[in-house]
Amino acid sequence: MYDHYTQLKFERRGAILTITLDNPPLNAANPALHHELTHVFDDVANDDQCSVVVLTGAGRAFSAGGDFEGMLQATESNALRMTSVARAPHLLQSLLALDKPTIARVNGHAMGLGATLALLCDIVFAAEGARIADPHVNVGLAAGDGGALIWPHLIGFARARHHLLTGDPLTAVEAARIGLIHKAVPTEDLDAEVYAYAERLANGPTQAIRATKRAINMALCAQAAATADAHIGLELQTMSSADHKEAIIALMEKRPPKFSGR
């Protein structure tokens, strides 16, 4: 049922389904990967062989960096901008609404949408060397694809405001200390920790686990339903700004951006 995916890879370990973001070198959410992410959790919901999901990234990153070429093209095309965000709210809602427990295996840096994907999972294990950040503002964008929703729920508004308004990253160790993620572990222990936890859930009382997850996520699902379109609308508004275009060009030219406030 997953044969048509090209940016995501799938592996089964009994009832555990591992989904791997696979867009080298850093698994940036280009249009193709983003499109597949907006559909995959619907397919997982209908996968009777799966009771636990592990979400991870190929190579040295979970999902870090941006698709700068695509972002630059979108600054000049309203059609591209609209296409890029059309199903973004559904991505958040389908992941939150999935009643099967999800475990993020953060094998490397998780930035922007990558951080959002990890943090929307139920349990997050991260390699100690990984960094987590939502640096939308640093590229002239509103944090509209889920960051403004999930960060305050996990670490409170005071800390979330700081990290979302500055884009400052956290190490996995710091993230675990303040409750942004469940646990930071040495890289060599990551698989053992993740899959031992996944097996525990897979071998547990499935109906009770799923029902409890639904209960936990009810408030988040309701908030996502009420705000996701507005949040992505705010990000869409900033996609056509001069500051966003300047930030992308500066990154591609490897120089500091000169923001104008426009």
Q: Closest Cα partner for 12 from 61, 58, 48?
A: 48
Distance from C-alpha of 5 to C-alpha of 2, rounded to nearest angstrom: 6
In a domain, 31, yes or no: yes
In a domain, 229, yes or no: no
Instruction: Report pTM.
Output: 0.96
In a domain, 181, yes or no: yes
In a domain, 223, yes or no: no
Q: How confident is residue 68, by pLDDT bands cut at 50, 70 and 90? A: confident
Residue 74, pLDDT score:
85
In a domain, 118, yes or no: yes
Residue whose structure tokens are 């700004």: 241
Residue 75, pLDDT score:
87
In a domain, 139, yes or no: yes
Q: Mean pLDDT in the chain? A: 95
pLDDT at residue 72 tops 90: no
Residues of 188-199 as b/e, b for ≥16 C-beta within 10 angstroms? eebeebbbebbe
Residue 262, pLDDT score:
93
In a domain, 252, yes or no: no
CATH number of the domain enclosing 132: 3.90.226.10
Structure tokens at 171: 């190490």
In a domain, 46, yes or no: yes
Helical H segments across 46-188, by residue range: 68-75, 78-85, 88-97, 113-120, 147-166, 172-177
Q: What is the span of the domain harbouring residue 139?
A: 8-189+197-207
Which residue did the predictor score with more confidence, 68 or 176? Answer: 176
For the chain, how many structural domains are there in total? 1
